[in-house]
Amino acid sequence: MGILDEAKYQKFMDDDKTPRCQERVWHTMGNWGQSAQCCRAGKAEDDGVWHCKQHSNVEVRRRRKKKGEKYDKEWAAMRLRIHGPHFHGVLEQIANGHNDARELAREALDEFNGGG
């Protein structure tokens, strides 16, 4: 084996040792799909399991957190819509001269902030 061949062989062996990302990914094909091992090279080892950058625990956690924040925002917007009629009722009472507008508003807000 010449020097070049040896280098090539060594590279081949190294490539073979490069761990692949062990994440299973789902490929959709029309109405069905199949799962296969992620084709990217492993970049990060999480507790002995290799993951590519996209599937690394750090990145997955970061994306999950981002999704969570988006969900929280949507949930907050939905709660505002649900509570809208109640707030409207409170405003009507204030407009009609409720004796303690501040207390009424505080109660409505506490209910909104405390409730799920």
Q: Which stretch binds Zn ion (CB under 5 A): 7-15, 30-38, 80-88, 92-100?
A: 30-38
Burial class (CB in 10 A: 0-12, 13-18, 19+), 21: buried
Q: Is residue 43 near Zn ion by the rule CB under 5 A?
A: no
Q: Is residue 21 near Zn ion by the rule CB under 5 A?
A: yes
Q: Is residue 40 near Zn ion by the rule CB under 5 A?
A: yes
Measure the CA–CA gap between 41 and 7, rounded to whole angstroms: 21
Q: Is residue 108 near Zn ion by the rule CB under 5 A?
A: no
Q: How far is the CB of 28 from Zn ion (least distance, A)?
A: 17
Q: Which stretch binds Zn ion (CB under 5 A): 4-12, 45-53, 85-93, 104-112?
A: 45-53
Do you know the residue count of the chain?
A: 116
Q: CA dihedral defined by 105, 108, 113, 114, rounded to 10 degrees? A: 130
Q: Is residue 38 near Zn ion by the rule CB under 5 A?
A: yes
For 48-100, where are the alpha helices, taking DSSP H only?
57-95
Per CB under 5 A, residues contacting Zn ion are: 21, 23, 38, 40, 52, 55
